[in-house]
């Protein structure tokens, strides 16, 4: 084969099926690198001055050569920029700083925790059974781990606050909460969304509803307009309110339990009430989308799933709600507005 033929063969390989597979498989290591630099606070160590890996390693405690190789891979994907032997920030890498207003540091860092790594080790179990890999670590499931391990609960809370920073801002910009009256945030965690809504919409009041340990950790946000109510949405009656808001709650559960949650909302909701589901909606388009990766995360963590527009609509109908509209936001979530059917 002539040299020119060899050259064309290489080009064909690089743009063909082999390249597709290597790009997909390489993403596994990009994710690991992201989680590690977040845990080592590398973005915090880098200011506006270009730094070498050696300089960053001295601050973060990483190995200089290993850090250089990790940053080279991340820079190839737009997280940090590399020039000669120095690294600078990009928009994406700045979001890994703890002082960024929309910091994702704590959320990204959770992908490198020992528990997450162990769960990924049981991925085949999820593929074979359809059950969450978490069951191999604790038969009672993901949320039992959080309740039994205070440190795991703290890490999870920090990750959810981190993840929600962009989501909360995008929800406030996309939806008018001014006439929502009293809003119950069901399974609202630390109340970051509800507090932001109540602060932005002066005529609203809020009730944060979550498990007792979660409510204890959220005690400092209580005010004259925001009250806290401990309970289990599978067992306890929900508050009677004008608006029910659930952000990234339904995706945690399979159809049976998601139906139970929405049925509890339907039972408590007065005739005029509205329901706001803040969730990622899986597009019908077959191309890449973050929601499809999140769907696999739900599979191995909780046994839940991300849903398409039609799957959300069907779930709501089953529980006595009618989907009125879907409001897109600038983040990965949409607002599905429903009323009693």
What domains appear along the chain, each with residue ranges and CATH number?
3-97 (1.10.10.10), 177-340 (3.40.50.150)
Whether 16 has a pLDDT exceeding 90, the answer reads: no
pLDDT for 215 equals: 95
Sheet holding 51-52, edge to edge: 51-52, 86-88, 81-83
Whether 2 has a pLDDT exceeding 60, the answer reads: no
Residue whose structure tokens are 């529980």 = 319
Structure tokens at 21: 């597979």
Q: What is the mean pLDDT of the chain?
A: 93
Of all residues in the chain, what percent carry a pLDDT higher than 90?
81
pLDDT for 151 equals: 83
172-223 confidence digits (pLDDT tens) = 999 999 999 999 999 999 899 999 999 999 999 999 999 998 899 899 999 9
Mean pLDDT to the nearest integer, 113-132: 93
Whether 64 has a pLDDT exceeding 70, the answer reads: yes
Q: How confident is the model at residue 114 (pLDDT cuts 50, 70, 90)?
A: confident
CA distances from 326 to 183, 219, 280, 302, 338 (A): 19, 32, 11, 25, 9
Q: What is the DSSP letter of 238?
A: P
pLDDT for 12 equals: 53
Q: Is the dihedral of CA 189, 317, 265, 227 positive or negative?
A: positive
CA nearest 80: which of 124, 130, 43?
Answer: 43
Which residue among the candidates 8, 89, 192, 251 is catalytic per the annotation?
251
Q: How confident is the model at residue 1 (pLDDT cuts 50, 70, 90)?
A: very low
Mean pLDDT to the nearest integer, 75-89: 96
Structure tokens at 159: 């990750």
Whether 35 has a pLDDT exceeding 90, the answer reads: yes
Mean pLDDT to the nearest integer, 78-99: 96
Q: How confident is the model at residue 11 (pLDDT cuts 50, 70, 90)?
A: low
244-274 confidence digits (pLDDT tens) = 999 999 999 999 999 999 999 999 999 999 9
Task: Give the whole-angstrom CA distance, residue 283 versus residue 130.
Answer: 22
Contacts of residues 73-77 at CB distance under 8 Å and 24 or more positions apart, as own/partner, are: 73/29, 73/30, 73/33, 74/30, 74/33, 74/34, 74/37, 77/30
Whether 306 has a pLDDT exceeding 80, the answer reads: yes
224-237 confidence digits (pLDDT tens) = 999 999 999 999 99
Residue 9 or residue 220, greater confidence: 220
pLDDT for 161 equals: 83
Q: With left for phi above 0 and alpha for psi between -120 and 50, is residue 204 left, alpha or beta?
A: beta
- In this structure, the chain runs to a length of 341
Q: Is 251 a catalytic residue?
A: yes
First to last CA, the chain: 71
Task: Please work out, in degrees rounded to the nearest 5, the angle formed at the alpha carbon of residue 91 by the alpha carbons of 278 and 246.
Answer: 10
Whether 100 has a pLDDT exceeding 60, the answer reads: yes
Cα atoms in the 13 Å half-sphere on the side-chain side of 77: 16
Q: What is the DSSP letter of 177?
A: -
Task: Give the whole-angstrom CA distance, residue 231 versus residue 194.
Answer: 17
Mean pLDDT to the nearest integer, 142-146: 84
The pTM of this model reads 0.88
Mean pLDDT to the nearest integer, 28-43: 96
């Amino acid at each position: 084969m002539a040299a020119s033929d060899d050259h064309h063969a290489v080009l064909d390989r690089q743009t063909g099926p082999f390249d597709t597979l290597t790009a997909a498989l390489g993403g596994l290591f990009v994710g690991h690198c992201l989680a590690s630099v977040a845990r080592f606070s590398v973005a915090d160590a880098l200011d506006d001055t270009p730094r070498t890996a050696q300089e960053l390693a001295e601050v973060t405690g990483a190995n200089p050569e290993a850090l250089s190789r990790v940053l080279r891979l991340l820079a190839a994907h737009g997280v940090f920029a590399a020039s000669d032997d120095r690294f600078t920030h990009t928009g994406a890498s700045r979001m890994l700083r703890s002082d960024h207003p929309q910091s994702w540091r704590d959320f990204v860092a959770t992908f490198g925790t020992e528990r997450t790594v162990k769960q990924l080790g049981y991925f085949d179990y999820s593929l074979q059974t359809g059950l969450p890999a978490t069951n191999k670590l604790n038969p009672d499931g993901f949320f039992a781990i959080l309740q039994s391990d205070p440190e795991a609960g703290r890490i999870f809370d920090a990750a959810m606050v981190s993840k929600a920073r962009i989501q909360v801002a995008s929800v406030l910009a996309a939806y008018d909460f001014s006439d929502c009256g009293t809003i119950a945030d069901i399974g609202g965690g630390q109340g970051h969304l509800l507090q932001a809504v109540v602060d932005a919409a002066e005529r609203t009041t809020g009730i944060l509803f979550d498990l007792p340990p979660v409510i204890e950790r959220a005690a400092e946000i209580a005010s004259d307009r925001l009250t806290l109510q401990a309970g289990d949405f599978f067992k306890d009656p929900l508050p009677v309110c004008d608006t029910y808001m659930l952000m990234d709650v339904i995706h945690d559960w399979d159809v049976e339990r998601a139906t139970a949650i929405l049925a509890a909302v339907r039972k408590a909701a007065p005739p005029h009430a509205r329901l706001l589901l803040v969730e990622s909606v899986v597009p019908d388009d077959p191309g890449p989308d973050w929601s499809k990766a999140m769907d696999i995360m739900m599979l191995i963590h909780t046994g839940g799933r991300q849903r398409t527009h039609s799957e959300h609509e069907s779930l709501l109908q089953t529980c006595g709600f009618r989907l009125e509209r879907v409001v897109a936001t600038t983040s990965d979530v949409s607002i599905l507005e429903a009323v009693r059917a």
